[in-house]
Every structure is written in structure tokens, then in C-alpha cells.
């Protein structure tokens, strides 16, 4: 296992994975004092998790008044477009909970381009953080949720993308990957998290998860080096080939 590999927790089914991770998040967030910054992932995998967090009894155990939601990446589309990560999180989670509107920090889309949206989002992140540079002892996020693409991408950081090499910016535009431009938080900002969790499910992710734990440098995911605690929550179908000792969640 590479030095940067996460601690692996494995659950029998995607449903059990979502339930256990939801309970784990509630316990982690509930124990943190003051405001709490949560960086959300897009894609289909986290939707069951969001639905659990947005329903009783877990919803009633979360400190929504002091919880702030951000996104690790977004497609450059209106917020309620079917392709929007914001829309998915809103439908599955945010519209069901008493979170103040001011605590929802979606990527701004009233911009002329993805590059302008990325610049505005970076400004938003810095204003929330209260500084222009990230301090090693003060994370930007309290909890960061990330999916793992079949090619090893995280957020919208794809293999061989120039965005992977970014060390100064907190958010950048990504073009040339599919029909839609994107905005992504960069590795340095994603790494500035007290807790980072990869959420991985399904047999289709088996090979890439094994490559992640083997430390394959071609994967964007292996280029993320979180400053805080680092975990991977996976179902058994995805983790079957991972060459790392699993901490079973059963």
C-alpha cells in the first residue's frame, strides 16, 4: 500500500455501505464544535447516502444551522439542470433539511464561462476560509467526500489534465472532458480537509480501487495527499481485489 493510501472499510452491500457511512458522518459531524464545512461529491454513488442523511432519524441529529455545504466539482450548467451536481444534492438532501440558504455554497453559475465560475468559486472559498493561503494546521473542510472514477479521477481531476498540476489555485476550469465544461477544486484545496472519504461501490470499480491501493501513479486519486484522516468506504464488490488489509465494517 502506498503511504498516501486510505484506510479501507468494507461492507457487504451498497445499501449497508450507505447506512454505515451515514451513521459515521453523523457521529463525526455531531462531535465537531463550531461551524462545519462539508465538501460534497457528485455522481450517482453518493445519492443513497445523501437521502439517508436527509431523512429522520439522521437528519435530526445533524447541526444544520452551523453546517456549510460545498462541492468538490461541478458541471458548467444551471443549478437545476439534470447534469448538475448541485441539483442531485438538493433533490436528495438539501431540500429536506433545515440548512440556512446562506450555508449552501454552490459553484456560481451566473458567469460567462467556466473559468469565470472557477475564479468566483475560489473567491467564495477564500472568503469562507478567511485567508488567501491554506495553513497546514487549519483545514479548509472538515469532511470531504469523493467518488472514484473508473479512470481514477476524483472531482473533475482527470488523468493527464493540467488541473492536476495546479498548486496555487483553489479552483480551476476543466475543458475537453466530455461535452460539458467543468469547475473543480484542486488537489491542494481538496487535501486541506480534517477528514477525507472515498466512497466506492460496484464491481466496475474493482480494478481501479486495486490500482489505487497499489499506488498506481497514473491515477489522479493517488496524487491526492490529504492532511487529515483518510478513509475509503467500499462495498465488497468494489474491494474484492484491493491488495490492502481491509478494516471490515460488518
Apex 242 CA angle, 85 and 146, nearest 5: 20
C-beta of residue 152 within 8 angstroms of C-beta of residue 221: yes
Which pLDDT score, from 0 to 100, does residue 230 have? 97
Instruction: Please state, in angstroms and rounded to a whole number, the distance separating the CA atoms of residues 40 and 101.
Output: 16
State the 10-residue block means of pLDDT for the chain, 250 residues long: 74 97 95 93 96 97 97 97 97 98 97 96 98 97 97 96 95 92 98 98 96 95 96 96 54
Residue 1 lies in a domain: no
Residue with cell 495527499: 225
Which pLDDT score, from 0 to 100, does residue 161 have? 93
Residue 29 lies in a domain: yes
Residue 191 lies in a domain: yes
Which pLDDT score, from 0 to 100, does residue 81 have? 96
Report the number of distinct structural domains present in the chain.
1
Which pLDDT score, from 0 to 100, does residue 172 have? 98
DSSP 3-state assignment of 134?
Answer: coil
Which pLDDT score, from 0 to 100, does residue 250 have? 44
Q: Model's pTM, two decimal places?
A: 0.94
Residue 248 lies in a domain: no
Which pLDDT score, from 0 to 100, does residue 249 have? 53
Which pLDDT score, from 0 to 100, does residue 243 have? 57
DSSP 157: B
Q: What is the largest CA-CA distance in the chain?
A: 49
Residue 249 lies in a domain: no
Which pLDDT score, from 0 to 100, does residue 133 have? 97
Residue 250 lies in a domain: no
Phi–psi pair at 207, nearest 5 degrees: -65, -45
Residue 207 lies in a domain: yes
Q: What is the CATH number of the domain that holds 19?
A: 3.40.50.1360
Determine the structural domain holding residue 68 and report its residue range: 7-243
Residue 90 lies in a domain: yes
Which pLDDT score, from 0 to 100, does residue 4 have? 63
Q: Tell me the DSSP string of 22-63.
A: HHHHHHHHHT--S-EEEEE--SSTTHHHHHHHTSTTTGGGS-
Instruction: Please state, in angstroms and rounded to a whole number, the distance separating the CA atoms of residues 2 and 223.
Output: 11
DSSP 3-state assignment of 191?
Answer: helix
Amino acid at each position: 500500500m502506498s503511504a498516501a493510501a486510505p484506510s479501507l472499510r468494507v461492507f457487504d452491500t451498497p445499501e449497508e455501505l450507505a447506512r454505515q457511512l451515514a451513521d459515521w458522518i453523523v457521529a463525526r459531524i455531531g462531535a465537531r464544535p463550531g461551524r462545519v464545512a462539508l465538501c460534497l461529491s457528485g455522481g450517482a454513488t453518493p445519492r443513497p447516502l445523501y437521502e439517508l442523511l436527509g431523512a429522520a432519524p439522521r437528519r435530526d441529529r445533524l447541526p444544520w444551522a452551523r453546517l456549510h455545504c460545498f462541492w468538490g466539482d461541478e458541471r458548467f450548467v444551471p443549478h437545476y439542470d439534470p447534469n448538475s451536481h448541485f441539483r442531485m444534492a438538493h433533490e436528495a438532501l438539501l431540500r429536506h433539511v433545515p440548512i440556512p440558504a446562506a450555508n449552501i455554497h454552490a459553484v456560481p453559475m451566473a458567469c460567462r464561462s467556466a473559468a469565470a465560475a472557477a475564479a468566483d468559486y475560489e473567491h467564495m472559498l477564500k472568503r469562507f476560509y478567511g485567508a488567501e493561503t491554506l495553513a497546514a494546521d487549519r483545514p479548509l473542510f472538515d469532511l470531504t467526500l469523493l467518488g472514484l472514477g473508473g479512470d481514477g479521477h476524483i472531482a473533475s481531476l482527470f488523468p493527464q489534465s493540467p488541473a492536476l498540476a495546479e498548486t496555487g489555485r483553489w479552483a480551476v476550469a476543466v475543458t475537453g472532458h466530455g461535452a460539458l465544461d467543468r469547475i473543480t477544486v484542486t488537489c491542494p484545496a481538496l487535501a486541506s480537509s480534517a477528514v477525507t472519504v472515498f466512497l466506492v461501490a460496484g464491481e466496475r470499480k474493482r480494478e481501479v480501487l486495486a490500482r489505487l491501493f497499489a499506488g498506481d501513479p497514473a491515477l489522479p486519486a493517488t496524487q491526492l495527499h490529504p492532511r487529515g484522516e483518510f478513509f475509503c468506504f467500499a462495498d465488497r464488490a468494489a474491494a474484492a481485489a484491493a491488495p490492502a488489509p481491509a478494516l471490515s465494517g460488518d
